[in-house]
Amino acid sequence: MPDQVTIHWFRKDLRLMDNPALSSVQSAPHLLPIYILDIDRADDASIGEAGRWWLHHALVSLNSTLKGTLQCYRNSPLKVFEQLIQTYSIEKVVWNISYEPIESALDIAIQALLRMHHIEYETFNGTLLWSPECVQKLDGSPYKVFTPFYKKGCLGLPEPRAPIPQPKVFNLYASLTAKTTPEALDLCPRHAWHDKLQLHWVVSESAAHERLDDFIEHGLNDYKLGRNYPARDNVSRLSPYLRWGQISPHVLWHRMNDVMPSENVTHFCSELGWREFSYYQLHHHPDLNQNNLQSKFDSFPWSNDSNHLKAWQQGQTGIPMVDAGMRELWETGYMHNRSRMIVGSFLVKNLRIDWRLGMQWFWNTLVDADLANNSAGWQWIAGCGADAAPYFRIFNPVTQGQKFDPQGDYVRRFVPELALLPDQYLFSPWEAPALILKAAQVELGVDYPKPIVDLKISREKALSAFKSLKSSDAV
Ligand SMILES: Cc1cc2nc3c(=O)[nH]c(=O)nc-3n(C[C@H](O)[C@H](O)[C@H](O)COP(=O)(O)OP(=O)(O)OC[C@H]3O[C@@H](n4cnc5c(N)ncnc54)[C@H](O)[C@@H]3O)c2cc1C
């Protein structure tokens, strides 16, 4: 007689606290926790390089919290469930929905398989504050603009449920058959780059909560203003934990309710709202990572110069604020939101490189690379998305630096070869007189690149490319 088990299928909910599916089966007599690395999608399309590193550590940490009982599989989920059905007498299967289109399709297939075998299953929402299908205009159509989406659509619905406490005990089922551990999934073969990431992140559920506590204590009180300054510690840096579900948005939302109301709290909640909006767009446009939401951009004359792309990726464009952002990404697997906008605008507008190439680089290098947020972020900065920054709004990386890195701390940290330049020339070293460059031990083209494009000329070229688009659109 095969062992009787209840299965919790971990997906992007690698946590015990506020895990609705897991809590629903906390009193099951034999709880088998599983994770499936989908072999059909275990390529760049489902998880980027930095994401694989994060996932590896998140699974190792989760397995240790579950006392080594997490059963991992490297196969197609459908095949894994067929195998589980052969091996065990399954009482029930539960999981939290992933709101990514391919995974939603997979859910339907798994549900059909379980139904065919008369196995009970239940799914939950542990990922979003408001399920996309619940948010709609009075006429039933989806929102296209963020503010009404959030203020009317989301805030008009009942408040997100309170977080579910972490279950005190589980009757975890320890399989006697040979078990695949997270390590055996071979998610992150040894790579020197990973050693760097290790310096910046503790990848565990408890680390996510510590980071939240720390942010509430030290960062939140000046969030609204301070979040614009990449050198300041006013953002939460919780994005990778949210992406992998080591902390839930419900926990964040309700912790904000517990602190004194302020414009900082309201603003932080609205940023969580942007995350909801990204998933909402992905729900309504499953091709968000491939196609321009505004189809007039389909004929945009991208330049796609591979040398320019390489210089951008390596933080060697000769534009200090852009290079600082790109090097922050390479050093830490994270980039501050202000810098994401600056480097994104520079790539798409000054270099006229297709936003999908920028998105791809972010996908592989960000530890928080998230299908919804990354695609929506790039469509937004390129101007081709829903409620996007207009194409003609081109960030000037020099004035952005002067305004948002006024003491130059951010640029000096990530572009140390310019550290001795006075603030006045730090963001535009090509304008510095020869004597000043010499005193700062900078020889342009030797110690630090000359700008790969002229900011003014490239801006004008971008604008005229955009105008040609509009006129050809009118034809
Ligand atoms: C080109 C581009 C690409 C991006 N790619 C990603 C990505 O792959 N993954 C990702 O999580 N975010 C992405 N973002 C959004 C944003 O930059 C990050 O969420 C944010 O910088 C994460 O840092 P934080 O956790 O300290 O943010 P905080 O300011 O502390 O915000 C808290 C949380 O709110 C959400 N949030 C904040 N800002 C945004 C935003 N603009 N859009 C959507 N959600 C937001 C995030 O979940 C974030 O963790 C991208 C933005 C741009 C412009």
Residues in the ligand 1 pocket, defined by CB under 6 Å: 227, 235-239, 242-243, 271-272, 274-275, 278, 337, 340-341, 344, 362, 366, 368-370, 373-374, 377-378, 381
Mean pLDDT computed over every residue of the chain: 94
Q: Give pLDDT tens digits for 214-246.
A: 999 999 999 999 999 999 999 999 999 999 999
The reply to whether 253 belongs to the active site is: no
The pLDDT, as a whole number, for residue 42 is: 58
Residue 290 maps to a domain: no
Who contacts 306 (Cβ-Cβ below 8 Å, separation ≥6)?
Answer: none
**361-379 mean pLDDT:** 97
Give catalytic status of residue 120 as yes or no.
no
- For residues 430 and 416, is the Cβ–Cβ distance under 8 A? no
Q: Which pLDDT value is given to residue 2? A: 67
Looking at residue 475, its pLDDT comes to 29
76 and 87 belong to one structural domain: yes
**CA dihedral angle for residue 339, residue 55, residue 246, residue 252, rounded to 10 degrees:** 10
Rounded-to-integer distance, Cα 110 and Cα 77, Å: 8
Is 232 contained in some domain?
A: yes
Are residues 203 and 277 both part of a single domain?
A: yes
Residue 152 forms part of a structural domain? yes
Same domain, 118 and 132: no
**Cβ(96)–Cβ(19) under 8 Å?**
yes
Rg of the chain taking only CA atoms, in angstroms: 24
Q: What is the CATH number of the domain that holds 268?
A: 1.25.40.80
Q: How many CB atoms lie within 10 A of CB 442?
A: 19
Q: Which atom of ligand 1 is nearest to the CA of 219?
A: 30
Residue 439 reports pLDDT greater than 90: yes
Q: Which of 99, 146, 232, 368 to mutate to test the pocket of ligand 1 (most atoms within 8 A of CB)?
A: 368
Asked if 375 and 245 sit in the same domain, the reply is no
268 shares a domain with 379? no
**Residue with CA at minimum distance from ligand 1 atom 48:** 239
The one catalytic residue among 130, 244, 312, 355: 355
In a domain, 170, yes or no: no
> What would the mean pLDDT of 437-450 be, rounded to a whole number?
98
Ligand 1 centre distance from Cα of residue 337 (Å): 6
| 268-303: burial string, b at 16+ Cβ within 10 Å, e else | bbbebbbbbbbbbbbbbbeebbebbbbeebeebeee
Higher per-residue confidence, 44 vs 88:
88
372 and 316 in a single domain? The answer is yes
Would the pLDDT of 330 be above 90? yes
- In a shared domain, residues 265 and 346: no
Q: Decide: 256 and 268 in contact? Cβ < 8 Å.
A: yes
The CB density around residue 71, as the number of other CB atoms within 10 Å, is: 23
For residue 15, being part of any structural domain is answered with yes
CA distance 348 to 297: 12
Q: Domain end: 69, 98, 126, which one?
A: 126
The packing angle between helices 249-258 and 263-284, to 10°, is 160
Report the domain count for the chain.
3
Q: State both tokens at 340.
A: 């994401």
Q: Give dist(CA 452, CA 279) in Å, integer.
A: 35
Closest C-alpha to ligand 1, atom 21: 337
- Both 396 and 360 in one domain: the answer is yes
Question: Does residue 42 lie within any of the structural domains?
Answer: yes
DSSP per-residue string spanning 215-252? IIIIIGGGHHHHTT-TTSS-S---HHHHHTTSS-HHHH
What is the per-residue pLDDT for 40? 74
User: What's the domain range around 145?
Assistant: 128-163+191-284
Which of 455, 423, 420, 462 is closest to 438 using CA atoms?
Answer: 420
In-domain check, residue 430: yes
- Within this chain, do residues 146 and 52 fall inside the same structural domain, yes or no? no
Smallest CA separation from ligand 1 atom 41, residue: 274
Whole-angstrom distance, CA of residue 225 vs CA of residue 264? 8
**Same domain assignment for residues 275 and 311:** no
- Collapsing DSSP to helix, strand or coil, 315 comes out as coil
Shared domain check, 345 and 275: no
Q: Is the pLDDT score of 296 beyond 50?
A: yes
Asked which of 249, 284, 319 is the last residue of a domain, the reply is 284
- Is residue 403 a part of any domain in this protein? yes
Residue 280 and residue 400 in one domain: no
For residue range 117-145, list pLDDT tens digits in order.
Answer: 999 999 999 999 999 999 999 999 999 99
**Strands ordered across the beta sheet of 120-124:** 71-75, 31-38, 4-10, 89-96, 120-124
Mean pLDDT on 441-458:
98
User: Would the pLDDT of 403 be above 90?
Assistant: yes
pLDDT tens digits along 39-61 = 777 555 678 999 999 999 999 99
Say which CATH number the domain at 374 has. Answer: 1.10.579.10
Give the residues across from 93 on adjacent strands.
Answer: 7, 121
* Set 91, 193, 228, 274: catalytic member: 274
**DSSP 8-state secondary structure symbol assigned to residue 165:** P
> How far is residue 326's CA from residue 321's CA, in Å, rounded to a whole number?
9
